[in-house]
Structure 1
Amino acid sequence: MKQIKLILSDIDGTILDDKNMIDGGLKNNIQKLRQKKIPFILASARSPKGMVSIAKKLDVLDNPIACYNGALVVKNLQAEKYTTILSHELKISETQQILNILMNKFPRIAINLYSGSNWYVENIDKWVKIEADITKMVPIETDLTQLVAKDKIPVHKLLLIGETSEIKRVKQFLEEANYSDSSFYLSKDNYLEITNKQVSKEKALRELVNYYEINLSETMTLGDNFNDVPMLDLAGLGVAMQNAPEEVKHHAQVTTKSNNENGVSFAIKKYALKE
């Protein structure tokens, strides 16, 4: 195995345990990586604001950050106006059609719209409150249909939250509609993410490899869920968490300890720092 020169890691279920606490040894290990000039880059379905506090605690604010599963890759996240490295938005016409379907056929689903660092919702229901508690963000209440119709902001992601059974029905319905530019995937059993088809953590990894002028064989990725599979497949070393579904583990070369056992730190020490 080649020397690791870049690490791309998921957040929820990976560096965060089941109580949303950060891997206890991670900050210290990131400092060791920095000494070896190995960037540790966060990749998540979260928005830029939803990643600031974690990036600050880990002291990686000066590294690129892949938000919305790679729909938006930014740098200098601490700055009022961060630097955009990469941006892929949803097609407005498809977004309008999807909103119309959701509001008419699936009214109990919570619709969350993300644009840049902003989070928009129709109203604050129980699902939105749960997400706000996790991300420590405050959403903007507005008429989503009117917001999209104005076509003045980029739509980086729609997040649909509801009961697991209903989310599965929504996913099947939208997939059968055969939208040309939108992709649908579960980040949790009851979280359906909608982004441009050009978006994935795999593509974010490719962009970052070009940015740092290294080879894919020199990268390590860590993740725990189905939206992490593309980057686990592509990396020189794909590392699945012990808490990942078995199907996800099959796409990784190795499995580390669980998110409740500081599995990311364990993998960094074993494969990147070789301690």
Structure 2
Amino acid sequence: MKLIALDLDGTLLSTEMKITNENLEAIQEAQSQGNIVMICSGRAPEDIQQILNRYAMSIPLAGSNGSVVQDRGRVLNRVSMNPEDIHKIAEKLDEERAPYRIYTDDGIYLPADWSERVELAMEREKIHVEGLSDETYQRITEQPQRSSLINFFDHYSELFKEKEVAIQKFFVLTLNHRIKSELATYLEEIATIGFTSSHPLNIEVMDKNGNKGNALKRIAEHYGIAMEDTIAIGDNFNDIPMFEMAGLSVAMGNAEPLVKEICDAVTYSNDENGVAHAINKYILNK
């Protein structure tokens, strides 16, 4: 039995945000042979579950970059940030008027002035991302609609007034170099947090123990699988902790160059069924 950990965006999901039939068939065949497949993503657990439900997939998942680990609705581990760090980070982001989202055990929260913060960021020197389409840029920057998952606040302290929510992650949209650089320097001074990136235009902040490597380890322990029998497949910097922990690390063909360098192998891109290719080669021996 092996454990296969899959990132979502840029990995299992194509650029059209779909899981291809080829990828689904490879996953199902791996499962039929007794292997465990899990999702390990920077997305919120509820967001991941919505995607899995579309494809009738019932598998373990780790959301918020591994800060929340679940198996079929049961929470196996949750790593939340401490209040002191939350206040430091939120105050800094509000000072810069940076657009950010807070991932909690009660959904995702955004500043009510998200759109104004994005407009302000776009007036500054923008980070150029090669190959980023206008459609994708709009999707990244537009203000989400209020829903059962998405809520808004005027000030982050509102999250602690009526009921104190547990916060697992800050997702910060970083559209320009100065803000991203200054924020990274600021975060480096906070010893109890870890921060990473899943895209050139973001920084993601969690407790230092909330990462994909620890999530992979938790699911492996849950199923009694040795770490040498684990495989991690991903494309970006937030995948590095699980690459370092896994028995075999596989970078997508569309992965960041540095990510490819540190991995044991490289598969095809997310638009070329790279996940299916890796499963067929390293699990199914096709």
For normalisation by structure 1, the TM-score amounts to 0.88
- Residue in structure 1 matching 2:103, options 106, 114, 122: 114
Identify which range, 235-244 or 30-39, moves more after superposition. Answer: 30-39
User: Counterpart in 2 of 1:79?
Assistant: none
**Aligned partner of residue 100 in structure 1, secondary structure:** helix
Query: What amino acid is the match of 2:108?
Result: W
1:217 matched to 2:228? The reply is yes
User: Counterpart in 1 of 2:212?
Assistant: 201
CA contact (8 A) 1:29 1:268 kept: yes
1:92 matched to 2:60? The reply is no
Could you tell me which runs of 5 or more consecutive residues in structure 2 were left unpaired when the two chains were aligned. Answer: 119-136
CA contact (8 A) 1:219 1:235 kept: yes
Superimposed CA distance per residue, residues 40-81 of structure 1 (whole angstroms, 9 cap, x where no aligned partner): 1001000022112321234332x22100111001122xxxxx
**Aligned partner of residue 19 in structure 1, secondary structure:** coil
How far 1:149 moved relative to its partner?
Answer: 4.3
Superimposed CA distance per residue, residues 86-132 of structure 1 (whole angstroms, 9 cap, x where no aligned partner): 0000111111121111111x11x212011125011112428698359
| Sequence identity percentage | 27
The number of aligned residues is 263
- Distance in 2 separating the partners of 1:237 and 1:180: 29
User: Counterpart in 2 of 1:64?
Assistant: 60
Could you tell me which runs of 5 or more consecutive residues in structure 1 were left unpaired when the two chains were aligned. Answer: 77-81
For normalisation by structure 2, the TM-score amounts to 0.84
CA contact (8 A) 1:50 1:135 kept: no
- Distance in 2 separating the partners of 1:9 and 1:133: 27
Alignment of 1:1-275 (within 5 A): 5-61=2-58, 63-76=59-72, 82-104=73-95, 106-107=96-97, 109-116=98-105, 118-123=107-112, 124-125=114-115, 130-131=139-140, 138=147, 139-150=150-161, 152-176=164-188, 178-275=189-286
Post-superposition, which runs of at least 4 consecutive aligned residues in structure 1 deviate over 6 A?
A: 132-137
Query: What amino acid is the match of 1:115?
Result: T
- Distance in 1 separating the partners of 2:145 and 2:219: 27
CA contact (8 A) 2:111 2:156 kept: no
- Distance in 2 separating the partners of 1:198 and 1:37: 30
User: What is the aligned-residue RMSD (CA, Å)?
Assistant: 2.4
